[in-house]
Structure 1
Amino acid sequence: MKIDLATQGDVLEILTIFKQTAEFFKEQGIDQWQGDYPNISTVLADIAAGQCYIGRNSRLILGVIVLSTAKEASYDELSDGHWNSPDDSYTVIHRLAVNRNYPGKGVSVKLINKAEALTKAKGFAGIRTDTHEANDGMRYILTKQGFRYTGQLTLADGSPRLGYDKLID
């Protein structure tokens, strides 16, 4: 699998993967990515900011990860813990999704590994992310990849989330 920055030509395929993921969440009773998120505006903004990466084989996109270097205001306060990564030196994984036809193939692991390499190359000390409490798949992957649960946080829209981070050597 080759991982590159996404381009505008990838938008429809990325949206399809995000919709597959939202449908999966709904089937699993996970109240994450329901409604009109993520949408075309989100994807176009991620691409324009140079923070949307895709993993693809020779024919199609297998997975998507968004890695931002902008600070996340929702991460300023944790209700029952603390971040391990420094407040002034972290990247954020905002969206991670795998093509529903390719589960269990290591796509998410490879995308997270790429995010870690990019974080290190850009000189940041850690990566932060959040997920829904019921998103057991993401929680498992994060733990498997060495991320630690850091506490509960609240997104700008009022949604509760679980925070995770990892220090990058």
Structure 2
Amino acid sequence: MFDRNMTYTFRKAELSDIMPIWDILQSAIQRRKNDGSEQWQDGYPNKEIITTDIERGEGFVLLDDEMVIGYTAIIANNEPAYDDIKSEWLTSGDYVVVHRVALSENYLGKGLAKKILGFVEEVAISLGIHSIKADTNFDNIAMLNIFEKLGYVYCGEVFFRGSARKAFEKVL
């Protein structure tokens, strides 16, 4: 659970946030490797992806005071891999996609990934969208548990860069 005495804010990322975001992602990539995961071990995500997220207004940061401690991308209605799901989504209308959820090493285990996904829900609602779609690697146990705890429903598999990923949807 996150420290309720702490005040966390969520905002669109700025280009000046790239270095702290990249540091967080590099740690997350290494953490996935140390856990024996195949996720994020193929050069993705990288600085170019993060820069593109920010330039498109799709990159978001979680802040503790003014310090960047988390990152995610929120993309509205644009994930071509989701068109070819092996099974089917709960809904067929507008949706937001959440990708690249990562937290600073010093903030792990405080429930902040759930807090980020709560902010994603607020962004979706502000856009008039009532569906969040996401995916993760079959061996990302932490994220699979978070999706389950937050009411995401397993919908099947999608494919990214040649490998299957578990796909989830939450209807708001």
- Shorter chain as denominator, the TM-score bin is over 0.9
Q: 1:143 is matched with which residue: 148, 155, 171?
A: 148
- Is 1:85 aligned with 2:79? no
The one-letter code matched in structure 2 to 1:34 is Q
2:64 match: 57
1:160 match: 164
CA distance in structure 2 between the aligned counterparts of 1:93 and 1:85, rounded to whole angstroms: 16
Q: What stretches of structure 1 move > 4 A for 4+ residues in a row? A: none
Matches within 5 A, 1:88-167: 88-155=93-160, 157-167=161-171
CA distance in structure 2 between the aligned counterparts of 1:85 and 1:16, rounded to whole angstroms: 36
CA distance in structure 2 between the aligned counterparts of 1:3 and 1:118, rounded to whole angstroms: 10
The one-letter code matched in structure 2 to 1:128 is K
The size of the alignment, in residue pairs, is 165
CA distance in structure 1 between the aligned counterparts of 2:70 and 2:100, rounded to whole angstroms: 10
CA distance in structure 1 between the aligned counterparts of 2:37 and 2:139, rounded to whole angstroms: 6
CA distance in structure 1 between the aligned counterparts of 2:84 and 2:15, rounded to whole angstroms: 35
Shift of 1:91: 0.6
CA distance in structure 1 between the aligned counterparts of 2:90 and 2:77, rounded to whole angstroms: 18
CA distance in structure 1 between the aligned counterparts of 2:66 and 2:120, rounded to whole angstroms: 23
1:85/1:166 contact within 8 Å kept: no
User: What is the TM-score of this pair, normalised by structure 2?
Assistant: 0.92
CA distance in structure 2 between the aligned counterparts of 1:45 and 1:71, rounded to whole angstroms: 14
The one-letter code matched in structure 2 to 1:95 is R
2:77/2:94 contact within 8 Å kept: no
CA distance in structure 2 between the aligned counterparts of 1:142 and 1:83, rounded to whole angstroms: 15
Structure 1 unmatched runs, 5+: none
Q: 1:48 is matched with which residue: 31, 43, 55?
A: 55
SS of the residue 1:101 aligns to: helix
1:62/1:107 contact within 8 Å kept: no
CA distance in structure 2 between the aligned counterparts of 1:152 and 1:40, rounded to whole angstroms: 27
Matches within 5 A, 1:70-81: 70-79=77-86, 81=87
1:69/1:91 contact within 8 Å kept: yes
Identity %: 28
Shift of 1:62: 1.6
CA distance in structure 2 between the aligned counterparts of 1:27 and 1:63, rounded to whole angstroms: 20
